[in-house]
């Protein structure tokens, strides 16, 4: 755009092709540009963004500033203030679940910290400002109640299950319903029915993200979920050594077979940094998940090192405390931020179709 006198119309025209990270359409046409003021060559405005994209608000703000400077070289100063823009989620499938994105967290085997990573993703999104639900689909070995430190019982209100609220998260797990130490012995159809109730009969409210902690292995839970509602995708957790990566590859193949997109891989227990001397030890190797992700064409979301405090916090039901630990926090925060960056990048490339009202 050639230099000239700045006006509000000129600025809006420059923003016509700047897209909202959730909807993938013009922020101007969606009415998300407010309080636009032009004073000589100085511009200030408020940009409305949804809580769905909260982890990338700062990046979006910086991107808009760079966009304006590229289009309007005469700009002297740009001040962009981000404010919350409300956009309610649509109900998904026959379940009636009001969520913008449902993400399964799985692994090809147990013992790789899958439930911990699922809880970390949920907490990371919640801490950034998203509305988040966490569903424990590991019916036979539910770990989420212990990791988040709650054994509260869900209640039944007007025929709907009222889930447990913990640290801003909305949580549902079989672990809340079964006495400690008691085993759940069910066949496949009963498992499918339980998932149906957890999804359809639970009063989740309006969510930006529902994170589902999957059981380990490649059983029929993924198939049930793919039949019950449209999943946005899956995250696969593994450790660096080759024997774990072999099982992670099977998990990726399983998700792809049931048409669930793999949104990223996480390498857990990637390395250990000695708290006494500061030296790094690659106990299980390192970088295996990153290399395998590149080989399979899957995004790499990040690594989480072996950290004694993180293990203690999980055992004590305080996994969220890892975000307050200066050694763990940067790794944990990166997971949810990179996940959302991948999700919104896909939405901008292929915007969701807007819903048209049905006229009577």
Within 10 A of 48 (CB to CB), how many other CB atoms are there?
17
Instruction: Give the per-residue pLDDT at 187.
Output: 57
Chain Cα centroid distance, residue 15: 28
Q: Strand, coil or helix: what is 258?
A: coil
Asked whether residue 357 is assigned to any structural domain, the reply reads no
- CATH classification at residue 335: 3.40.50.300
Q: Are residues 185 and 306 in the same domain?
A: yes
Q: Are residues 68 and 161 in the same domain?
A: no
Q: Are residues 101 and 40 in the same domain?
A: no
Look up residue 194 and give its two tokens. 């339980």
* Percent of residues, the chain, with pLDDT higher than 70: 91
Q: Are residues 60 and 17 in the same domain?
A: yes
Q: Which of 294, 230, 225 is nearest to 265 (CA)?
A: 294
Alpha-carbon distance of 315 to 354, in angstroms, equals: 44
Q: Are residues 194 and 57 in the same domain?
A: no
Q: What is the mean pLDDT of residues 265-284?
A: 78
Instruction: Give the per-residue pLDDT at 37.
Output: 96
Helix axes 114-128, 329-349, angle to 10 degrees: 70
Instruction: Give the per-residue pLDDT at 157.
Output: 87
* Bridge-based pairing state of the strands 164-166 and 280-281: unpaired
* Bridge-based pairing state of the strands 262-273 and 233-238: parallel
Choosing from 49, 84, 119, the residue where a domain stops is 84
The number of folded domains in the chain is 2
Q: Are residues 32 and 118 in the same domain?
A: no
Q: Are residues 38 and 167 in the same domain?
A: no
Tens digit of each residue's pLDDT (9 = 90 or more) over 136-166: 988 777 889 999 999 888 888 888 889 999 9
Is the model more confident about 110 or about 38? 38
Alpha-carbon distance of 26 to 16, in angstroms, equals: 6
Instruction: Give the per-residue pLDDT at 141.
Output: 72
Q: Are 149 and 314 in contact (CB under 8 A)?
A: no
Cross-strand bridge partners of residue 273? 280
Tens digit of each residue's pLDDT (9 = 90 or more) over 60-79: 999 999 999 999 999 999 99
Choosing from 84, 111, 142, the residue where a domain stops is 84
Q: Domain limits at 113?
A: 91-349
Q: Are residues 232 and 190 in the same domain?
A: yes
At residue 320, what are phi and psi to the nearest 5 degrees? -65, -20
Q: Which of 319, 322, 317, 344 is nearest to 333 (CA)?
A: 322
pTM > 0.85: yes or no: yes
Name, in order, each residue with C-beta under 8 angstroms of 311's C-beta and a sequence gap of 6 or more.
none
Q: Are 300 and 265 in contact (CB under 8 A)?
A: yes
Within 10 A of 349 (CB to CB), how many other CB atoms are there?
9
Q: What is the mean pLDDT of residues 48-54?
A: 97
DSSP 160-178: EEE-EEETTEEEEEGGGTS
Q: What is the mean pLDDT of residues 228-232?
A: 85
């Amino acid at each position: 755009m050639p230099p000239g006198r700045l006006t509000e119309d000129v600025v809006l025209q420059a923003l016509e092709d700047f897209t909202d990270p959730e909807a993938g359409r013009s922020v101007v046409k969606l009415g998300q540009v407010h309080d636009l003021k032009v004073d000589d060559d100085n511009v200030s405005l408020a940009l409305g963004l949804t809580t769905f994209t909260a982890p990338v608000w700062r990046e979006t703000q910086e991107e808009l500033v760079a966009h304006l400077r590229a289009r309007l070289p005469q700009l002297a100063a740009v001040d962009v203030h981000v404010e919350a823009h409300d956009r309610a989620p649509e109900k998904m499938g026959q379940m009636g679940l009001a969520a913008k994105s449902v993400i399964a967290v799985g692994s090809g085997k147990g013992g790789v910290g899958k439930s911990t990573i699922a809880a970390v993703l949920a907490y990371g999104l919640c801490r950034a400002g998203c509305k988040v639900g966490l569903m424990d689909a590991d019916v036979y070995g539910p770990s989420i109640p212990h990791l988040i430190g709650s054994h509260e019982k869900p209640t039944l209100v007007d025929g709907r299950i009222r889930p447990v609220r913990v640290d801003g998260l909305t949580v549902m797990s079989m672990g809340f319903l079964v006495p400690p130490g008691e085993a759940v012995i069910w066949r496949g159809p009963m498992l499918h029915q339980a998932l149906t109730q957890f999804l359809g009969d639970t009063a989740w409210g309006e969510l930006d993200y529902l994170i589902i902690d999957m059981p380990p292995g490649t059983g029929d839970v993924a198939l049930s979920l793919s039949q019950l509602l449209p999943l946005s995708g899956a995250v696969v957790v593994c450790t660096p050594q080759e024997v774990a990566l072999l099982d992670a590859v099977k998990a990726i193949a399983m998700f792809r077979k049931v048409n669930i997109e793999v949104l990223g891989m996480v390498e857990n227990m990637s390395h250990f940094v000695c708290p006494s001397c500061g030296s790094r030890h690659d106990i299980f190797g390192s970088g295996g998940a990153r290399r395998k992700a590149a080989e399979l064409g899957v995004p790499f979301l990040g690594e989480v090192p072996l950290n004694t405090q993180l293990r203690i916090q999980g055992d004590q039901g305080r996994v969220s405390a890892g975000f307050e630990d200066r050694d763990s926090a940067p790794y944990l925060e990166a997971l949810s931020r990179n996940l959302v960056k991948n999700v919104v990048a896909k939405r901008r490339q292929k915007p969701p179709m807007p819903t048209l009202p049905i006229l009577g």
